[in-house]
Amino acid sequence: KELVIDLTADVMWETGGAHGSTPLIPADAVTEKVTINGNGHKFIATGAGVGPIGLANGGKLIFKDLTIVDNSVSYDEAAWEFTYLELAGALEFENVTFKGGITLQAESDGTQLNATFKNCTFITEEDSVYGVWVSDGTSSFTNCRFQGTRGLKMHEQYGSEIAEVMIDACEFGPLSKKPGVAIGT
C-alpha cells in the first residue's frame, strides 16, 4: 500500500492533454501513499501539460529533495489555466525547488486538494506566471521562498472552492511583477 521511489538520475513524466489523463497512480490502484525521494535530482514534466500530477485514487503523493521543472506545453499555453504545471489531490512537498509556475486544483472527480509545502522554493521567470496558483482546497506553505516575477495567487474559477491557505515564515522576493500574495475571486 506504500511505495517509495529513490531517484538515482533525473526522470521525465509525460503529462496528457486532458484533465485526469495522466495520474501517477490510476483510480483503481490499491497504493495509498507514494513517496519520491529525489536525492537532488530533477522531476521534469513534459507532454501536453493538462493532465495533473497526483494520485487518482485519493492516496497521498510526497516529493522530497528534488527540483520539479515544467517543460510541458499545452494546446493553449497562453491561457492562464493551461500555462501552469497542474497538481491535484493529496500532496506533500519537502525541500523541493519548483522551476516554473504550478497550479493546485481539485481532482477531475471533484476530490478537493490538500497540499503542504515545507522548505520549498518557487522560481518564476515568465512575466505573467505566478510561482503558485491555488484554486481549490487546502494548502499550507511553511518556510518557503518565492522568487522571480510573481509569488502566490489565490483565485477560485470554474466552480472551485478554496477552503484555507496558510502561509507561515515564508519569504517573498525579490519579485519583479506583483506583490508576494495576490487574492482574486
Which helix (H) or strand (E) is 152 found in, with range? Answer: strand 152-154
Residue 25 predicted with pLDDT over 80: yes
Q: How confident is the model at residue 30 (pLDDT cuts 50, 70, 90)?
A: very high
Between CA 180 and CA 5 the distance in angstroms is: 34
Mean pLDDT for 35-53 is 93
Give me the pLDDT at residue 167, please: 98
Q: Which cell is 93 given?
A: 512537498
Residue 42 predicted with pLDDT over 90: yes
Per-residue pLDDT of 123-149, as tens digits, reads: 999 999 999 999 999 999 999 999 999
Q: How confident is the model at residue 23 (pLDDT cuts 50, 70, 90)?
A: confident
Between CA 19 and CA 98 the distance in angstroms is: 21
The three-class DSSP label of residue 130 is: coil
| Lateral strand order in the sheet of 85-88 | 85-88, 102-105, 132-134, 152-154, 181-183
Give me the pLDDT at residue 20, please: 73
Q: How many CB atoms are located within 10 Å of the residue 73 CB?
A: 14
Give me the pLDDT at residue 108, please: 67
Give me the pLDDT at residue 110, please: 67
